[in-house]
Amino acid sequence: MAAMPTICYTPPMRMTDAIPEALDHALRDAVEAAVGQYGARVASIRRDVDFDGDECLFVEIAYDHPDIPVDPLVIARLDLPLRDLAYASGERGILYVQNRFRDDQAIRGSHVKRWLGDQPRQPPN
């Protein structure tokens, strides 16, 4: 009788799974490199679900120096490399950054006020 084929099965990640230590360190290092200049620190990394019930990884970042102006575009782009790190380490859920600012956080406005400069779309004639 022929040997039974080997079935490879990778179980889905569960919310109770621990965050791999290597990923935890990589995310903290990436946050430090990207927004450490603003006095930001990783407050928590946890699994949870989003509004649609999909499993996600949430990285909570606290900004403790409201006197240092943050660049909104740098903050906005932070999700992207962290998400790449999570996917590269085998995470399947979407990573979201939760930025915690104080109300009096100073903001650098150069990017926010920038116009796109493209032409308006035309509706059908």
Partner 1 sequence: MYESLLALARELADADSDAVQPFRLRRATSTAYYALFHAISAEAADRLAGAGAPEWGRVHRTLEHRQCRDECARIAKEGAMGSGIRECAGHFTTLYDARQRADYDPVWQVTPALASAHVAGATAAISGLLDSPENERRAFVVRVLFKTRT
Binding site for partner 1 (CB under 8 A): 50-52, 56, 63, 70, 72-73, 75-77, 79-80, 83-84, 87, 94, 96-97, 99-103, 105, 107, 109, 111-114, 116, 118, 120-125
Using the minimum distance from each CB to partner 1, give the nearer residue, 25 or 111: 111
How far, in whole angstroms, is CA 72 from its chain's centroid? Answer: 15
Minimum CB–partner distance for residue 14 and partner 1 (Å): 19
Counting other chains too, the contacts that 48-55 makes at CB distance below 8 Å and 24 or more residues apart are 48/15, 49/15, 50/94, 50/96, 54/93, 54/94, 55/13, 55/15, 55/92, 55/93
Minimum CB–partner distance for residue 41 and partner 1 (Å): 16
The Cα–Cα gap between 32 and 27 comes to 9
Minimum CB–partner distance for residue 57 and partner 1 (Å): 12
Using the minimum distance from each CB to partner 1, give the nearer residue, 4 or 115: 115
Minimum CB–partner distance for residue 68 and partner 1 (Å): 11
